[in-house]
Amino acid sequence: MIPVALSPGHPLTDGRTDRSPLVQALRAGTTGNRPEITPVWFMRQAGRSLPEYRAAREGVSMLDSCLRPDLASEITLQPVRRHGVDAGIFFSDIVVPLRLAGVEVDIAPGVGPVMGQAYRTRDDVARLVETELTEESLAPIREAVALTVDALGTTPLIGFAGAPFTLAAYLVEGRPSRDHLAARALLRGDPETWQRLVDWAADLTGTFLRAQVQAGASAAQLFDSWAGSLSLADYAAGAAPASTRALTHVADLDVPVVHFGTGTGHLLPAMRDAVTAAGVRDVAVGVDYRTPLDDAARLLADGHAPVPVQGNIDPALLAAPWDVLEAHVRDVVRRGRTAPGHVVNLGHGVPPDTDPDVLTRVVGLVHALGADWTGQDDAHEEATRR
């Protein structure tokens, strides 16, 4: 079925990416068909680990890099060329839609997103929600995606947006926070104001994500950096409904959606349900490095149709000796076979000091293992050596 909201020239409707390993893996929960190779890409694959990235961004701020279509496209393409990964991830930042809506925000080197002010009172939030995205403000995003998709050919592009809870947490705290105490206090102490804030954030980030998909992205990822700071009860009450609201903006486009958070092992089924509640058909859940993939797959399948998983190589092991990393990658791929589909990724982002050649080598290993590899051959070889 061709989604009516996508143009005839979209990569999913004209046949360029609908049979790609990434799209097949993300849709395996509904189709039952695994791709011939296990797809792999890396969060933060476009970034400081690449010398070409540092050269391209020299003298240009992070947010300006995201909003220059030619530069954002080039940065998105760099790791696809270098590593041979199975997808590009649109080069952006979760606070880009805030900037596009006119909110005062910058990314301070060594710190992260810093707001012009913290939004902690009812009046603060009332003023904030008067801002919105417009077609004009989204024009550089659409242009960057279109440039990138044209260059990628049969390799899919993944659209990227931050989840409403994480956006709201940045706004309430005013800057990165370890525990998000002010955000959690507002969530529980003034639920009406909190709800108004996350609903606004949901529509903002959902509109941002929809623009990327309509311009050519073949999948979407909603990234909830800070949801792991919440209890299951607080997530269910104060975060999940907003994620659902955000994803209703792309549900009619019929693209697969990955929902990922860090420190969210206790929230995985709730994160899955937040996506399905939006009406998204093809759902995958990203798993960070703390939870083994087979444990995550069992948790996600308990009383529910199983869904594909994404993850979850420990980023720290990218700096370990190759034999240690290789054994870990093989273990991740083996555990990922317990889910209907598996997209190999890190359990968070690429550390900036990572040797790019290591990432290229990981891609080669994952592709060489094949979609049918279960680790039994390795176990046999090990037993023989003994």
**What is the three-class DSSP state of 221?**
strand
User: Which distant-in-sequence residues (6+ apart) come within 8 Å of 344 by Cβ?
Assistant: 38, 39, 40, 310, 311, 313, 329, 332, 333, 336, 366
Residue 141 CA to residue 118 CA, distance in Å, equals 26
In the chain the first and final C-alpha atoms are separated, in Å, by 53
Q: What are phi and psi of 362, to 5 degrees?
A: -65, -45
Q: Decide: 189 and 227 in contact? Cβ < 8 Å.
A: no
> Tell me: the pLDDT tens digits for 165-207?
999 999 999 998 888 999 999 999 999 999 999 999 999 999 9
> Tell me: the pLDDT tens digits for 337-383?
999 999 999 999 999 999 999 999 999 999 999 766 677 655 444 43
β strands within the chain, DSSP E:
88-89, 105-108, 112-115, 157-162, 219-224, 257-261, 283-286, 309-313, 342-346
Residue 344 CA to residue 301 CA, distance in Å, equals 19
Q: Which residues are catalytic?
A: 44, 48, 57, 93, 170
**Quick one: pLDDT at residue 296?**
98
Q: Which residues are annotated as a binding site for substrate?
A: 44-48, 93, 170, 225, 348
Task: Tell me the average pLDDT across 48-54.
Answer: 95
**Quick one: pLDDT at residue 371?**
65
**Quick one: pLDDT at residue 380?**
41
**Quick one: pLDDT at residue 12?**
97
pTM above 0.85, yes or no: yes
**Residue 386 CB coordination number (10 Å):** 5
The answer to whether residue 4 scores a pLDDT higher than 60 is no
Q: What is the mean pLDDT of the chain?
A: 94
β strands within 157-255, DSSP E:
157-162, 219-224
**Residue 361 CB coordination number (10 Å):** 16
Percent of the chain with pLDDT over 90: 91
Q: Which residues are annotated as a binding site?
A: 44-48, 93, 170, 225, 348
Using alpha carbons only, give the angle 270, 271, 276 rounded to the nearest 5 degrees. Answer: 90
**Quick one: pLDDT at residue 147?**
98
**Quick one: pLDDT at residue 375?**
74
**Quick one: pLDDT at residue 384?**
34
Residue ranges of domains in the chain, CATH in brackets? 21-385 (3.20.20.210)
Q: Which residue has the higher pLDDT, 108 or 125?
A: 125
Task: Tell me the average pLDDT across 243-253.
Answer: 98
> Tell me: the pLDDT tens digits for 82-105?
999 999 999 999 999 999 999 999
